[in-house]
Structure 1
């Protein structure tokens, strides 16, 4: 079967069946659910940004207080005092 024959067969099949009935309140229900999903996505996105910001602030405060880039003092030799 080539493409035009397949299209013709599909059209014949679709023309034999009556169109499905659609509930009258389908549009309003879809709009209600869609807006609810949009609100949830927006809230989740804001929450994730807030968590990311809190993690960045916590890391900055930790790094400023503990200063992990500074080499700790040596514990192997005694300090030289009283020369």
Structure 2
């Protein structure tokens, strides 16, 4: 396709009548945007709640198990020097 054919094709496209836009398009877009925002807000709240629950569970586990404390020895050391 050479330049004049491209120009003619572009001219034909621009001379067409624009498509008819539905009259309630703006209202539908606003409703959809509101739904998307509510869903995003709910998802973020659920993620924060899950993160908080995981932090509480970890804190409770670490306070009850105390993984930083060395476990007691299961074998008694030999007694020498009696």
Note the residue ranges of structure 2 that are not aligned, 5 or more in a row.
none
**Pairing of 1:30-69 with structure 2 (within 5 A):** 30-69=29-68
Q: Distance in 1 between matches of 2:49 and 2:9?
A: 52
Query: Structure 2 matches for 1:1-83, cutoff 5 A?
Result: 8=7, 11-77=10-76
Q: Distance in 2 between matches of 1:79 and 1:10?
A: 98
TM-score (norm 2): 0.79
Root mean square deviation of aligned Cα: 2.4
Q: Which runs of 4+ in 1 moved over 6 A?
A: none
Residue segments in structure 1 that go unaligned for 5+ positions in a row: none
Matched length: 78
1:14 is displaced (CA, Å) by 2.4
Distance in 1 separating the partners of 2:19 and 2:56: 56
TM-score after normalising by structure 1: 0.78
